[in-house]
Structure 1
């Protein structure tokens, strides 16, 4: 088992691809393909396990399938159609990143994946690639799943476990649009806790102790409170920026790259309008 830092935009500790017995969990964005390939050193992965299809977690998947045409890609049923045809996903994300040019500069190419390469999940599967249990864990995304590696008792939790920049324990709950659901997120944390994992594998970033589940719930509540008490996006961003710099010092910019502050606000504001 190892954590591969794909060094997004050349920065360390932003995006982590996990390799477990040749299986890659959340291989990262297309723009980091070369870094990932160098870390693999010519070895073909056995399969890709995606917690969800956001660019920072899954964007390189199609390029890896293009390189290894028989590569299996595991993804939740709600995300699978967008891997076969990523055009709607790219159009939606382009509105956040300044259009197609900005999207490609930040995240790289998202290559379509042939339907026959997909292994579609609904949650509740066991024995995936001989070792993983899967549960449906919405909240951050409506198509999010988490993977429990039963031999090691590690849980690979995508964004459900939040974002932290080691060695700091301070945690941010990534809440980008469009489908944040705070109550579903809390239920998903309870699902992961029910596995009684010995450690969590975070995409942002690295290994975390089980207490990380408490931290992400605290972060989620704190961000909900902040979004409801500040004056719009500008007030929220300023308050979060101040908080991050007080807690993380020079690592604040790394956290902001992993969890853009304006997107934290947009996702929570949309959630409040829809649910609260």
Structure 2
């Protein structure tokens, strides 16, 4: 039975299809942009971070009392966007937070909109991956009354991120701080668990919650009927500057069947537009999800076939070859200067491992 009120989180102590862009989201800015002609090394992995200007950001009004702050992740525009919702009764809510390493950029973007972190009344987390949720604890420190809405599976990790950080540290190593910053815990009293059928009321605005696993088992989406807007996190894939729509498939939760069902769950709302973290608002046409589903099938098929191919020396060689294949596949569809944006947002090398885990759990290799 659908619930109609998010419940306070209760945790045990110390629990360890192509369409028109609704709005142009701007061109690359600054000396480190990726316009054609600049030298860009595409690795398809985020395992090596680079130092960036912490305060660079761009705020884009997207209508419906909302904006998107581009935090210029890795000094590149249109990779990570933080949703900003104006609340009629005062203050703002955020949809995801971006990484804590880009918190000063978020501050700058909010300042462009006439706000500060102290104005934050709530945070709607789509899921707890580092590019979406790392700054939540730091924001709550500056806005102690802010409530963080998150799925039940993700809530314990927001209260105590130690296990999540240990796992991520094995992947990113010394690049952790540069990429993601400090993942501070969110006080349990500031957490609210949300799930399928819940309704979140924020200062005069109303958001329906949909459970949308497939990319992550703790992934939810938020729909505001009054504006026809679905905030979809990563379940809507990655689409940058009007280019093709692709998935992002890191371990450990990738499930192709569940992801496809989640696409249908979003479309059941019949939204007028979707807003993706990577990057921006698009018309919510079924062709968007048809394109994403087809690309997800293509990626999954390549990885499945690679697991049965003994000509590869090991899994790392499979992952690197997959990254090369995706790069070549995308290269036929996007301008040269956009490749680094897609590679940074999706992490092609890392995406192989998520799909490999999916197939191995099903006995495919």
Q: TM-score range by the shorter chain?
A: over 0.9
The counterpart of 2:215, out of the listed 140, 149, 158, is: 140
Correspondence list, 1:79-228, <5 A: 79-97=154-172, 99=173, 101-129=174-202, 130-168=205-243, 170-211=244-285, 212-228=288-304
For 1:273, the equivalent position in structure 2 comes to 360
Instruction: Deviation per CA, 1:99-147: give whole Å up to 9, x if none.
Output: 2x32111111111110000011122102432410001110000100000
Deviation of the 1:71 alpha carbon? 0.9
User: Do 2:122 and 2:148's aligned partners in 1 also have CA atoms closer than 8 Å?
Assistant: yes
Which residue is 1:28 aligned to?
98
- Give how far 1:227 is off: 1.5
What is the DSSP-based 3-state SS (H/G/I as helix, E as strand, rest coil) of the residue aligned with 1:233? Answer: helix
Greater alpha carbon shift after TM alignment, 223-232 vs 48-57: 223-232
Tell me which moved more, 227-236 or 134-143: 227-236
After superposition, the C-alpha distances for 1:44-77 in whole angstroms (9 at most, x for unaligned) are 1221000000010111111101111111100000
Following superposition, the deviation at residue 209 of structure 1 comes to 1.8
Q: Provide structure 2 residue ranges, at least 5 long, that are not aligned to the other structure.
A: 1-65, 87-91, 307-311, 313-317
By how many angstroms is 1:26 displaced?
1.1
Higher deviation after alignment, 208-217 or 265-274: 208-217
SS in 2 for 1:236: helix
The reply on whether 1:7 has 2:72 as its aligned counterpart is: yes
Mind listing any 5+ residue stretches in structure 1 that lack a counterpart? none
In the alignment, the residues of structure 2 paired with residue 162 and residue 38 of structure 1 have an alpha-carbon distance, to the nearest angstrom, of 27
Structure 2 CA distance for aligned equivalents of residues 74 and 183 of structure 1: 26
CA displacement, residues 146-204 of structure 1 (integer Å, 9 cap, x when unaligned)? 00012101101000000011122x11101000110111111111110100010000000
* TM-score normalised according to structure 1 size: 0.95
Measure the CA separation in 1 of the matches of 2:333 and 2:305: 21
Preserved CA contact (<8 Å) 2:150 2:194: yes
User: Structure 2 CA distance, aligned partners of 1:76 and 1:145?
Assistant: 7
- For 2:332 and 2:120, locate their aligned partners in 1 and report how far apart those are by CA, in whole Å: 40
1:127, 1:7 → 2: CA distance?
Answer: 29
Match of 1:243 in 2: 329
CA distance in 1, matches of 2:289, 2:201: 24
The answer to which structure, 1 or 2, has the higher relative contact order (CA under 8 A, 6+ apart) is 2
Per mean C-alpha deviation after superposition, the further-off stretch among 225-234 and 238-247 is: 225-234
Residues 191-244 of structure 1: per-residue CA shift (max 9 Å, x gap): 101000100000000012223222211221111122223452122111011122
Q: Which moved more, 1:58-67 or 1:126-135?
A: 126-135
Q: Residues 62, 176 of structure 1: CA spacing in aligned structure 2 closer, same or farther, 3 A cutoff?
A: same
Once residues 215 and 96 of structure 1 are traced to their aligned partners in structure 2, the CA distance between those partners, rounded to angstroms, is 30
Query: Using the alignment, how far apart are the partners of 1:217 and 1:167 within structure 2?
Result: 17
- Which stretches of structure 1, 4 residues or longer, exceed 6 Å deviation after superposition? none
1:48-67 equivalence runs, <5 A: 48-67=123-142
